[in-house]
Structure 1
């Protein structure tokens, strides 16, 4: 097992002799060595910056902090409302924080600790964050002066630990975790353990994630569903699917109910292992357990079967789920429709869509358009028109290209009047027609010898500005 290297701690200086706020007598930067003798009353130290910035910062502080004694409330107001928004001085917040800690009449509390922790974490100043956490451990909040520790200590450290884990500084996260354990009352919350475990998993350090989980058990902290989901996912990623199943059983044995993420992770693991029947069986177990499907559940099952060429099995499975009423409302089965249409099985795609649509699982706009194109390629124009009409009734407006293609198909079959009714329905639902749609209809009427109907369409085109000249108008009216 990997041994964690304790990070180098930058010591903070002890408070200096009493000083008054107007004279601004702070300690030097905490990263500098502690002086051996008490120097004359120092000024606020700003390392690695020129004298001009130094003088301006002192002037800025004197302007906004006028009346001693300094309190955490006034310091926090200065840091949040004044310094934080200043384009030149915002990054000096930790220097000001350290300066305040040297004033004998002043003591930081959890409000300034919390704000400073967030500021350093959000700006990725992790060296300074480590110094801050060491300072908090040595100088607890005044709330801790009684028999109980400050209730904000754990949230302060949790934010820092989460920031460390987010950037992969796991050793620092563990050191902060151990420091926090010594400060709080009782045991750390399971949320903190989950943050660190997930940090190890995200960085590919599976063994250390397990080590931390074992420590969690030794500390008598009970894992929750998130703990188990993180570790099950890690087992699957590391090709240890058998151990993932064992942990799933352990999870249920300990009285922790799996959720949809637990099942999805295992189903995906079964499919990755090529055990499709086991994955499907797990889905039915999920139904019996009373756990609702998510869109991801259906995508794992249906898309996974389709990738293996088991398209018909995917259709039967989805239809069965629909009849059981477990298909989630937001699931888009466009992928299955697309695969079927590519395989020239548009009739089967229509069956699947009809079955799900009838039971309230309305297809997406792109699924409907894909189905219409598949039906058109299979010369099933009536079914394509029915799908488009049903779309419009549901308030789904097709794109103009698909609409024009269907209208052209109807006109080619001598059914221009039917195509014109579809135009009126589409217009009432918000479809903006273009000149191509009107041209198709006008020529369709002309070819069928219905000059009056063709003239009505041509006149509407003229009103909308789609006819550029008289010759074009005469051609449309005369066919």
Structure 2
């Protein structure tokens, strides 16, 4: 029971308002969730005797954000804005726009943006960021550019900050050409800086246009701005992606050419720089080169982190080099790196995928020794794999161990019952034997044809 030691009219009235707001918010939330269509919702809202206020609207919107459909929230908000007793402030209008942007409802967001302009309300800079990002994500980049051209009509300043937000939104989706056009049109009232150049380079790299990215990079240098690490990382990703498609053997060569250029411009490569290359070498399944780059990191003054180890160990597991992968896990632990349970879980998934459950159990033991976090999904993965592979006893032991350690399991206890779980045999071995038999047949045919050719030559 709530007690008030000293009664005060202001505090007591605030308490009553809070209680009434919460009860009214519950009634309105139930109305939004239970009533059938939008027209019925509005008619029920008109019949209700609840006094609408901005705090109440905020409460209802926040409580129903992930429970009610966005169009129901939109109908409630527009209805609230029409009430004569409720004058919604600009901050609440901006909050609603950002809410619908986060819920990916483009149409609802556009309607409120139009209403905001019609009522001459002010648009905050963070609201503009949400609008630009949402429109570009939905393929409406031209519409976002159109709003920026008339952004002062939305009572938002047309300055360097609003320009940077639009350029960032465009380049994040690879619309670097349109972003360059926006920057070109604004060159009379905004000064180019290193952020705009770096963002444009990133946009061209996402598009996969290395030549254009390099062109902007040279423009950046000619304008007196020193290239930064972010710009070089964008170039590294772009050239690695291009080589992965066209010429994987050039991955290491082109990377170290960029590293030499970085050092000449007083930009030192970091562990992230090498991790980018190792990740692309892993995609190309170039094990030897990935291992060489990993060992070369220390010589270049970059200590490998747990991401570096993860990328190399994952590649070793995928290519069947289990012993070498396990050695690298032990090496990582010995040098003092202690990644979180997610590291072990991801590698366990790789091992289960290549049917190496014994090595996955070894990895689980390493996780228990060196990681205090109890990660339920790892147990779910192993128990499911073991039971469906017919190893019910080991699956039962892991189940009991997980419960004893306090792990939250999502898999069903029925997996432990052989009468309810269908045991399957991995088709990987059967597929490998089929491929081997086909290869033997092809070799026999080739040998037979060669024998016939040699006989004809002798004759």
TM-score, length-scaled by structure 1: 0.51
- Residues 306 and 314 in structure 1, CA contact (< 8 A), matched pair in contact too: yes
Q: Spell out the pairing of 1:48-59 with structure 2 (5 A cutoff).
A: 56-59=44-47
- Matched residues in 1 for 2:364 and 2:100: separation? 57
Displacement of 1:279 after TM fit?
A: 1.2
Displacement of 1:212 after TM fit?
A: 1.4
**Structure 1 pair 199/343, CA: closer, same or farther in 2 (3 Å)?**
closer
Q: Spell out the pairing of 1:63-142 with structure 2 (5 A cutoff).
A: 63-65=50-52, 75-81=53-59, 91-100=75-84, 109-118=89-98, 121=101, 122=103, 123=105, 124-136=107-119, 139-140=120-121
- Residues 232 and 244 in structure 1, CA contact (< 8 A), matched pair in contact too: yes
Alignment partner for residue 311 of structure 1, among 287, 299, 302? Answer: 287
Over aligned residues, Cα RMSD in angstroms? Answer: 5.1
What whole-Å deviation, never above 9, does each CA across 1:294-346 have from its counterpart, x for those lacking one?
A: 3xx44431243355564333222211213555235331534434555676767
Displacement of 1:80 after TM fit?
A: 1.9
- Matched residues in 2 for 1:83 and 1:391: separation? 43
Q: Spell out the pairing of 1:251-330 with structure 2 (5 A cutoff).
A: 251-252=220-221, 254=223, 260-274=229-243, 275-276=250-251, 277-283=253-259, 289-290=267-268, 292-294=270-272, 297-308=273-284, 310-330=286-306
- Matched residues in 1 for 2:81 and 2:364: separation? 66
Displacement of 1:208 after TM fit?
A: 1.7
Higher relative contact order (CA 8 A, sep 6+): 1
- Residues 271 and 303 in structure 2, CA contact (< 8 A), matched pair in contact too: yes
Higher helix proportion (structure 1 or 2): 2
Q: Spell out the pairing of 1:408-423 with structure 2 (5 A cutoff).
A: none
Q: Spell out the pairing of 1:53-452 with structure 2 (5 A cutoff).
A: 56-60=44-48, 62-65=49-52, 75-81=53-59, 91-100=75-84, 109-118=89-98, 121=101, 122=103, 123=105, 124-136=107-119, 139-140=120-121, 153-182=124-153, 187-190=158-161, 192-201=162-171, 205-225=175-195, 227-252=196-221, 254=223, 260-274=229-243, 275-276=250-251, 277-283=253-259, 289-290=267-268, 292-294=270-272, 297-308=273-284, 310-337=286-313, 339-340=315-316, 359-361=335-337, 365=344, 394=370
- Matched residues in 1 for 2:346 and 2:154: separation? 57
- Residues 170 and 203 in structure 2, CA contact (< 8 A), matched pair in contact too: no
- Matched residues in 1 for 2:351 and 2:126: separation? 55
- Residues 54 and 89 in structure 2, CA contact (< 8 A), matched pair in contact too: no
What whole-Å deviation, never above 9, does each CA across 1:241-270 have from its counterpart, x for those lacking one?
A: 122123234335556565554333211222
SS of match in other structure, 2:271: coil
- Residues 340 and 348 in structure 1, CA contact (< 8 A), matched pair in contact too: yes
- Matched residues in 2 for 1:283 and 1:311: separation? 21
What whole-Å deviation, never above 9, does each CA across 1:139-163 have from its counterpart, x for those lacking one?
A: 346xxxxxxxxxx643443433333
**Structure 1 pair 130/332, CA: closer, same or farther in 2 (3 Å)?**
same
What whole-Å deviation, never above 9, does each CA across 1:162-210 have from its counterpart, x for those lacking one?
A: 33233222233223223323565864243x3344334444666443222
- Matched residues in 2 for 1:112 and 1:392: separation? 49
**Structure 1 pair 293/262, CA: closer, same or farther in 2 (3 Å)?**
farther
What whole-Å deviation, never above 9, does each CA across 1:409-433 have from its counterpart, x for those lacking one?
A: xxxxxxxxxxxxxxxxxx9xxx959
Number of equivalenced pairs: 322
SS of match in other structure, 1:289: coil
What whole-Å deviation, never above 9, does each CA across 1:65-117 have from its counterpart, x for those lacking one?
A: 5xxxxxxxxx41242235776877862321331454xx9xx976422432343
- Residues 268 and 279 in structure 1, CA contact (< 8 A), matched pair in contact too: no
TM-score, length-scaled by structure 2: 0.53
